[in-house]
Amino acid sequence: MPTSIALLLSAIVLALPAAAADVTMAFGEKIPPFCFPQTNSGIELEVIGEALKYRGHVLKPQYFPLARVPVAFKAGQVDAAMTSLGEDATAMGGHFGNPAVLYDNVLITLASRHLVINKPADLKGLTVISFQGAVNRYPEWLGALKELGNYTEQNDQALQVKTLMMGRFDVVLSDRNIFHYFTRQLQNEGFAILPVEEHSFTVLNPQDYRPVFRSKQIRNDFNAGLQQLKATGRYRAIYEKYLGKDGFVPQ
């Protein structure tokens, strides 16, 4: 066989997608509306599952406490992980995919309070409720409040919305869409929802939310599927299924 033909055939083989595979992937135990373990549903699961399906792969989610998600990947328990939690994928034996979803944390206050929050000092004298582990992630904003006893962490993020509406806390630190999701849920239950304001306090970095794959080819297939979801509008439709048309949809 002439060398040129052999090279051409090799290039074609390399360009073909990997054989369809089951992809076990580590997810956090419960992150509404991104992940609902009891029904294997949620924005993140549906986006990743449909992106993998584009080239025939089948997502098989497994659930762990969030801090153990990268640990499960490193230990070889799964083929992929929703996040590396800031660790280097190469060192973990994996390959980063493009971000499937984004978590955009903001400070949220009642609009009627007319609070201005541009720097950590602006939180002085205010009480803040946040998700678990936030003080370790944003020590410059929350460390002093914790020392003064003005800071609480609560994993039940529906309770965060309730306590803000009831005036028990001045500020909620939450992902925009998680807060929006629970606001919609409580409103549907007849709970009184007041107007709020969002205060950005950190720069959103999409690279912080990339899934990790052990197989480079499956990573490439996932990226192709994700691009297709966005091009066809299916990506936005998945977000709107859980958040309505008022949710924040990453571009």
Q: For residue 94, which of 107, 104, 84 has the smallest C-alpha distance?
A: 84
d(CA 53, CA 241): 19
pLDDT of 240 reads 96
| pTM, to two decimals | 0.85
pLDDT of 230 reads 97
Q: Is the sign of the CA dihedral 215, 220, 223, 224 positive or negative?
A: negative
- Place 205 in a pLDDT band, splitting at 50, 70 and 90: confident
Percent of the chain residues past pLDDT 90, beyond the cut: 78
pLDDT of 75 reads 95
Q: Which two tokens stand for residue 127?
A: 């009480």
pLDDT of 7 reads 43
pLDDT at residue 13 is higher than 80: no
- Place 18 in a pLDDT band, splitting at 50, 70 and 90: low
Query: For 120-176, what is each residue's pLDDT tens digit?
Result: 999 999 999 998 889 988 999 999 999 999 999 988 889 999 999 999 999 999 999
pLDDT at residue 201 is higher than 90: yes
Query: For 20-67, what is each residue's pLDDT tens digit?
Result: 999 999 999 889 999 999 999 999 999 999 999 999 999 999 999 888
pLDDT at residue 11 is higher than 70: no
User: Helix or strand or coil: residue 155?
Assistant: coil
Contact 104, 175 (CB under 8 A): yes
d(CA 64, CA 161): 25
Mean pLDDT of 226-242: 97
pLDDT of 6 reads 45
- Report in angstroms the alpha-carbon separations of 52 from 55, 60, 132, 198, 208: 6, 11, 30, 34, 20
